């Protein structure tokens, strides 16, 4: 065979090999581009149907949609302390007839000096200036169904607190350079009026009127007036009230009271005039000479014409220091002040709830719970707070509404170790309840060592639960 023939044979083999490579590549591309995606899609659909049919607990991806700000500019009397227009945030849900309206909290101011100080140090609680156009809700306000499985698709209204008057004021200050307006009651009225005009809230089937801290007191103080509005404009709507961390054991700074006078009684008496507070008529008639009592939930709640669900911690961090000071000032023996504080807070709360029939009382230290993203983890007897609220809200039976009591029997904070984690206010590190009260300056390893006759080193080695049980019992 000649050299030329060899070359022709090699060229033919090369062409065949090249064709084989091209065919193989085309087949591989076809598999990767068409067959594998089709197979994966079929597998996905089969597994999806399988999960759904078995009611799988696998969490789906859910996005928290923001609420949009609406200014009350067309309502001239809806103004903040500084005269800026009040506003509210809204997130609408098509075809859903459930509504959640939540009033924010933030204490109050009671005279020119305290309000001027509040304006300087907590400007956002006195003005709408600087408020964001959009706001993401947490807890019961979230649209993320993983965090808020029952109300994520409800119509949500969140009203910022900028009137500093526990939502009761009706005093407008025009052209004032060194005074403030207090229009909390009017702001709430105008929010509802705007909703009736611009939304389909009149077609609602259920509205939860909720408030946290001072916002909860505001809900109670305005509940009967709100009921009258709905009776007139939406008589089919079921109105129910939820107050969170608003159950005051005493008026603030009651530990300063003595046999002759109680300074905070005088402060509230002046505040009622300063704000031109709208006190519910039923309570005002009952407390003619002590109108300030109407700001205590256990005093006003007998006059509320709506079902009320109370959420409260026995050892609410906002009241803990107050009660501790009261114990320390009146203490005559050598008992541990913090231990006595826990006992007194437990006793006072139970006593104040004696005529209340619907509540969820946790032993956690937290203040304001339903606006936390971990609110599902607050439990009593394996019943979560979110489940309890839903069960109560959906109940059609008045007997069920009036006999829903859940109280954690812990004698000290988080005695069962089931409370959501807390974070150090300064370092943001996760801490336990003991670390928190230590941060507040209510106890120390040194003082515990003296009380228990142990070295500070041995005290530090003890777990929170062992330490607290030694102190309490």
The CATH number covering residue 223 comes to 3.40.50
Q: Is the dihedral of CA 110, 111, 114, 118 positive or negative?
A: positive
Number of domains in the chain: 3
Q: Is the domain of 133 the same as that of 280?
A: yes
- The domain in which residue 351 lies consists of 72-420
Q: At 186, phi and psi to the nearest 5?
A: -70, -40
In a domain, 130, yes or no: yes
| Helical H segments across 276-376, by residue range | 281-286, 297-300, 317-330, 337-352
Contact 134, 68 (CB under 8 A): yes
In a domain, 111, yes or no: yes
Q: Is the domain of 37 the same as that of 98?
A: no
Q: Is the domain of 370 the same as that of 463?
A: no
Residues in the chain with pLDDT values less than 50 = 1-4, 6-9, 11, 46-60
pTM of the predicted structure, to 2 decimals: 0.84
In a domain, 425, yes or no: no
Q: Is the domain of 140 the same as that of 84?
A: yes
Q: Is the domain of 310 the same as that of 369?
A: yes
In a domain, 382, yes or no: yes
In a domain, 426, yes or no: no
pLDDT of res. 44: 53
In a domain, 158, yes or no: yes
Q: Is the domain of 403 the same as that of 440?
A: no
Q: Is the domain of 231 the same as that of 277?
A: yes
pLDDT of res. 417: 85
CA terminus-to-terminus distance, the chain: 109
Q: Is the domain of 318 the same as that of 407?
A: yes
pLDDT of res. 48: 43
In a domain, 66, yes or no: no
CA separation for the pair 432, 453 (Å, rounded)? 24
In a domain, 427, yes or no: no
Q: Is the domain of 111 the same as that of 54?
A: no
Q: Is the domain of 247 the same as that of 318?
A: yes
pLDDT of res. 58: 36
CA separation for the pair 226, 344 (Å, rounded)? 35
């Amino acid at each position: 065979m000649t050299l030329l023939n060899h070359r022709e044979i090699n060229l033919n083999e090369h062409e065949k090999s090249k064709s084989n490579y091209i065919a193989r590549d085309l087949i591989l591309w076809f598999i990767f581009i068409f067959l594998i995606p089709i197979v994966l899609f079929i597998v996905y659909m089969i597994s999806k149907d399988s999960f759904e049919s078995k009611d799988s607990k696998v969490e789906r991806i859910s996005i928290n949609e923001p609420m949009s700000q609406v200014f009350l500019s067309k309502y001239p009397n809806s103004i903040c302390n500084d005269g800026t227009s009040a506003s509210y945030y809204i997130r609408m849900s098509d075809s859903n007839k459930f509504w959640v309206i939540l009033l924010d909290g933030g204490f109050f101011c009671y005279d020119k000096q305290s309000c001027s100080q509040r304006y300087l140090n907590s400007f956002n609680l006195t003005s709408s200036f600087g408020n964001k156009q959009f706001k993401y809700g947490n807890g019961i306000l979230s649209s993320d169904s993983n965090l808020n499985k029952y109300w994520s698709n409800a119509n949500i209204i969140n009203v910022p607190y900028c009137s500093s008057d526990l939502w009761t004021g009706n005093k407008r200050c025009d052209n004032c350079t060194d005074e403030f307006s207090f229009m909390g009651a009017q702001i709430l009225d105008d929010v509802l009026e705007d909703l009736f005009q611009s939304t389909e809230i009149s077609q609602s089937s259920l509205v939860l009127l909720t408030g946290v801290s001072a916002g909860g007191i505001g809900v109670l103080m305005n509940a009967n007036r709100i009921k009258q509005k709905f009776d007139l404009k939406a008589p089919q709507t079921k109105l129910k009230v939820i107050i969170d961390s608003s159950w005051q054991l005493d008026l603030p700074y009651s530990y300063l009271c003595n046999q002759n006078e109680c300074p905070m009684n005088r402060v509230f008496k002046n505040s009622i005039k300063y704000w031109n507070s709208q006190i519910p008529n039923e309570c005002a008639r009952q407390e003619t000479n002590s109108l300030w009592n109407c700001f205590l939930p256990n005093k006003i709640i007998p006059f509320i014409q709506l079902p009320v669900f109370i959420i409260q911690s026995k050892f609410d961090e906002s009241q803990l220091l107050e009660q501790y000071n009261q114990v320390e000032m009146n203490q005559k023996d050598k008992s541990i002040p913090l231990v006595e504080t826990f006992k007194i807070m437990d006793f006072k709360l139970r006593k104040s709830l004696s005529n209340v029939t619907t509540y969820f009382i946790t032993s956690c230290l937290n203040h304001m719970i339903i606006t936390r993203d971990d609110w599902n983890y607050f439990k009593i007897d394996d019943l979560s707070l979110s489940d309890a609220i839903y069960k109560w809200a959906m109940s059609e039976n008045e007997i069920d509404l009036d006999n829903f009591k859940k109280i954690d029997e812990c004698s000290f904070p988080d005695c069962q170790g089931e409370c959501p984690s807390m974070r150090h206010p300064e370092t943001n590190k996760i801490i336990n309840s003991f670390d928190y009260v230590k941060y507040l300056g209510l106890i120390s390893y040194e003082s515990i060592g003296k009380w228990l006759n142990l070295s500070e080193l041995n005290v530090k080695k003890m777990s929170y639960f062992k330490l607290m049980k030694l102190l309490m019992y």
